Amino acid sequence: MLMRTDPFREMDRIVQQLSGTSGTWSKPSVMPMDAYREGEEYVIAFDVPGVNPEAIDIDVERNMLTVKAERRPVAKADSLKVELSERPLGVFSRQVMLADTLDTERIQADYDAGVLTLRIPIAERAKPRKISIGGESGRKQISG
């Protein structure tokens, strides 16, 4: 039901980790995710630890889902001397092509413990339905 849109994203992520660069709005860092089906909906979970929920932007245009988040540095005092800074800052983004069988009008988003979870119901038209053959005329009727 989901399609990867950029096969080279993982390579970009590895290069960014090794070089220590952070994402920008023009070239965001990759946002790790899991996607799975749970009953009658698809669930996509994005790792965005330390990101304020107000700094997360979720858009759907046609079947393209785009999630962007920005982690900014914590305000620091002038007398503070940073000894170690390993947590990535900057802009993170992920685009996912959604199948036509998903109901993009009813996406639900929750944010808890640094994980953004989107729940996308399967559209009614995509659910399996029984087709019965009616009466003597042999007409087919779709029940659903």
Q: What pLDDT is stored for residue 47 in this prediction?
A: 93
CA angle 104, 108, 111 (to 5 degrees): 135
Cβ neighbours for 76, distance < 8 A, ≥ 6 positions apart: 82
Task: Output 17 or 56, whichever has higher pLDDT.
Answer: 56
**Between these two residues, 43 and 86, which has the higher pLDDT value?**
43
Which pLDDT belongs to residue 130? Answer: 81
- Model confidence at 67: pLDDT above 90: yes
pTM: 0.68
Is there a contact between 114 and 56 (Cβ–Cβ < 8 Å)?
no
Distance CA 70, CA 46 (A): 13
Position 77 confidence tier, pLDDT thresholds 50, 70, 90: confident
Q: 15-19, 27-31, 60-64, 65-69 — which is least confidently predicted?
A: 15-19
Distances in whole angstroms, Cα of residue 112 to Cα of each of 43, 99, 116, 118: 14, 26, 7, 11
Read off the pLDDT of residues 107-119 as tens digits, 9 standing for 90 and up.
999 999 999 999 9
Taking residues 99-106, report their average pLDDT: 92
User: What does the mean pLDDT of the chain come to?
Assistant: 80
